[in-house]
Structure 1
Amino acid sequence: MTDTHALNWDLPAPFTLEITVQPDDTDRLGHANNVVYIRWLEEVSWAHIESLGMTWALHEETGKAMAITHTDVDYLMSANAGDELVLGTWLTDWDGRFRSARQFQLIRPSDGKTLLRGLSTHACVDLKSQRPSRAPQAFVDILSGAQVPGGRGLTR
């Protein structure tokens, strides 16, 4: 178990997920494949919002979800099979109605190096129509309480 408080995070108090790079996560170049990094971003995002009470049951109950509209990823260094990593995330922007953003930082604790930084933006959608929709009050309450100031926000 990694002491995540000792890592050099870009923002305070990230929600974290510990990852061990598996041999199946690597590509022909011998490092973690870009698709795997995206999967990890999705995994930490779901774990984070579920920890805040924004469970899939709540999504089904409200008929709404936050869908990714854009993802920027800066791959700074490679990860290899066997590497122990910690992926942090923060909700960094929320317009109170429709759009949100979250940031990511992936650190290898063995050397303290940041391997990845990312930003994803999201829009609330209706689960049936898949069309944009105003967020239900339950989402507003959860996302408003979880936003971390100082992030890169919704800018591109």
Structure 2
Amino acid sequence: MTSTFDLLYSVQDKDVDALGHVNNVVYVQWMQDVATAHVDALGLGLKQYLELKHAMVAVEHQVQYRKAALLGEQLVLRTWLSDLNGLYSTRQYVFYRPSDQSIIFTGQTKWACVEIATGRPKRLSPSFTQAYQPLKDDTQTLDFSAFHEVQ
């Protein structure tokens, strides 16, 4: 992988809580959604996990809520892999609102490779290490200039 992965999203009724903004647990769901879309795009999603009999599962999340998102707003959900070793990968997230050029959320997930049948840790297979390549350090992960016109 040589770039970030973006998923465009419009905030829906189901995302908004009684306080009128996106509920905090929804951001974690979006982390899962954009990660799933990314691994599918890389050709190593759920179908391949089942065939290989092992999968990546989330073991730790770190999140920072920076600004509220509201009903109808257009967002860019961005993710990329920042680290990969024998058992774990680290995925980064930045959610961006083009209308005011604001980063509204950042996060990170540590993923572990496990055998599906047992849930036990398993070393990453070559299929995983080839598909899940971390970004190079000089990649401009916060460059959202392509989305400044999106509204």
Q: Structure 1 length as normaliser, TM-score?
A: 0.84
1:43-90 superposed Cα distances (whole Å, 9 cap, x missing partner): 100110111111222111110001111001100000000111001001
Q: Does residue 137 of structure 2 align to residue 150 of structure 1?
A: yes
Are 2:35 and 1:48 equivalent residues in the alignment? no
- State yes or no: 1:23 paired with 2:13: yes
Q: Which amino acid aligns with 1:42?
A: Q
Find out whether 1:114 has 2:106 as its counterpart.
Answer: no
One-letter identity of the residue aligned with 1:147: P
The CA distance in 2 between the partners of 1:132 and 1:123, in whole Å, is: 7
Write out the 4+ residue segments of structure 1 that deviate beyond 6 Å after TM superposition: none
TM alignment of 1:1-150, pairs within 5 A: 13-95=3-85, 97-143=86-132, 146-150=133-137
CA RMSD of aligned residues (A): 1.4
1:135 Cα deviation after fit: 1.6
Task: Using structure 2 for the length normalisation, give the TM-score.
Answer: 0.86
- Unpaired runs of 5+ residues, structure 1, are 1-11, 152-156
Moved more, 42-51 or 133-142: 133-142
CA distance in 2, matches of 1:116, 1:132: 30
Q: Flag structure 2 segments of 5+ consecutive residues without an equivalent.
A: 139-151
Q: Percent identity?
A: 36
Q: Distance in 1 between matches of 2:45 and 2:88?
A: 18
